Amino acid sequence: MNQARHLISLTDLPDDQLRTVVERGAEHARRAALGLPAAPTLAGAVVGVYFRRTSTRTRTAFSAAALRLGAGVIAYGPQDLQTNTGETTEDTGRVLAGMLDVLVARTADDPGEMRGWAAGQRRMAVVNAMSSNEHPTQALADLTTLTLHFGSVDGLRVLYVGEGNNTAAALALGLSRFRGVLLDLRTPPGYGLEPRVRALAEAQAAAAGAGLTERHDLADLPDDLDAVYTTRWQTTGTTKPDPDWRTVFAPFHVGTELMARAPKALFLHDLPAHRGEEVAAEVLDGPDSIAFTQAENKMHSAMAVLEWCHGLG
């Protein structure tokens, strides 16, 4: 194995490697559609999967991805590691690095803990399967999905509607690095992107010849949208201090009227979905929705991520 590579933020991926991982994920999806098995590129490797928060898609995606690539999997529950009894993050990382090749972790906290596991480790790669401020592997699955449906991410026009949460942050940090992309975010007042994330995404967009805007209403939507994206209003592991937050979010519901304003657009959702809240059932289950294909692509994208972390590609 080559030196392990960590994926704690999309910023850990240089531009060329971001494209490589996305295209590799799309390649895995194309092969699966033809009924072709994946090559055992991770044969002999051991992948740890540690989730302190609930997960259906991401946990299953990385577990299935590792197995399909020939790796073994060790799963840890939220109470399984000795960090619960006072062992330091750094000591835990040193111990795990002597036995694992990759650790996929969801903490829903600041990614500093993951950086602690990764500190000084040259063998064990650490993958952020969602932290409070970014969901990088979700964005890679989204970019893989867009690549499969449009042939390329370059030049796409994407509308994001909803909270500026960790999924929105990762989407902004990913899409803003592709040439000619327009990402228009419509977030409820007081629930926009973190200023740090927005500033970084805007700088990336300027360098790539892309466009990124954020408003807090649904007026004057862009023309010729390729995709409309939303997420559930109650992000995993978070609460909202404003008891009246639903009133603020209500105008950002994605229903048939909004989709009619983007007649050529596909609909994406990172799931799980709450029909009748952030999205109408007619939209999520309608002919323009690719949300469940998007979910399946998390596994194909996870395969590409594990290969990249293992020094391949």
In the predicted model, what is the mean pLDDT of the chain?
94
Helix extents (H) in 131-224: 136-150, 166-175, 195-208
Same domain? For 105 and 66 the reply is: yes
pLDDT value at residue 236: 63
Same domain? For 42 and 147 the reply is: no
Does residue 109 lie in a domain region? yes
Same domain? For 26 and 115 the reply is: yes
Secondary structure of residue 91 in the 3-state scheme: helix
Same domain? For 54 and 195 the reply is: no
Does residue 123 lie in a domain region? yes
* Residue from 266, 177, 277, 181 nearest 229 by CA: 266
Digit-coded pLDDT (tens) for 259-290: 999 999 999 999 999 999 999 999 999 999 99
> With a threshold of 0.85, does the pTM exceed it?
yes
**pLDDT value at 228 more than 90:** yes
Same domain? For 262 and 209 the reply is: yes
222 near 184, Cβ under 8 Å? yes
pLDDT above 70 covers a percentage of the chain that reads 97
Please report, as a single letter, which amino acid is at residue 204: Q
**pLDDT value at 61 more than 90:** yes
**More reliable by pLDDT, 92 or 38:** 38
Does residue 118 lie in a domain region? yes
Does residue 233 lie in a domain region? yes
Same domain? For 176 and 273 the reply is: yes
Rounded CA-CA distance 4/63 in Å is: 19
pLDDT value at residue 119: 79
Specify whether the backbone of 158 is left (phi greater than 0), alpha (psi in -120 to 50) or beta. Answer: beta
Same domain? For 243 and 114 the reply is: no
Strands (E), the chain: 46-51, 72-76, 102-106, 125-128, 157-161, 182-186, 211-215, 227-230, 266-269
CA atoms 9, 14, 15, 19: torsion sign:
negative
Same domain? For 48 and 175 the reply is: no
Digit-coded pLDDT (tens) for 183-224: 999 999 999 999 999 999 999 999 999 999 999 999 999 999
What's the number of domains the chain is made of?
A: 2
β-sheet bridge partners, residue 157: 182
Rg, C-alpha atoms of the chain = 19
Same domain? For 291 and 142 the reply is: yes
The CATH number assigned to the domain holding 214 equals 3.40.50.1370
Digit-coded pLDDT (tens) for 95-128: 999 999 999 999 867 778 888 888 766 789 999 9
pLDDT value at residue 126: 95
- 148's tokens: 């499969």
Does residue 269 lie in a domain region? yes
pLDDT value at residue 107: 83
Domain interval for residue 173: 138-295
**pLDDT value at 141 more than 90:** yes
Q: What is the DSSP letter of 252?
A: G
**More reliable by pLDDT, 145 or 241:** 145
Same domain? For 151 and 114 the reply is: no
Same domain? For 121 and 172 the reply is: no
pLDDT value at residue 276: 96
Burial class (CB in 10 A: 0-12, 13-18, 19+), 266: buried
Does residue 184 lie in a domain region? yes
* Residue from 300, 258, 288, 66 nearest 161 by CA: 258
pLDDT value at residue 203: 98
Does residue 5 lie in a domain region? no
Q: Are strands 182-186 and 157-161 parallel, antiparallel or unpaired?
A: parallel
- 103's tokens: 């650790």
Does residue 1 lie in a domain region? no
Alpha carbon of residue 200 to chain centroid: 17
Same domain? For 153 and 126 the reply is: no
Digit-coded pLDDT (tens) for 236-262: 666 788 889 999 999 999 999 999 999
142 near 174, Cβ under 8 Å? yes
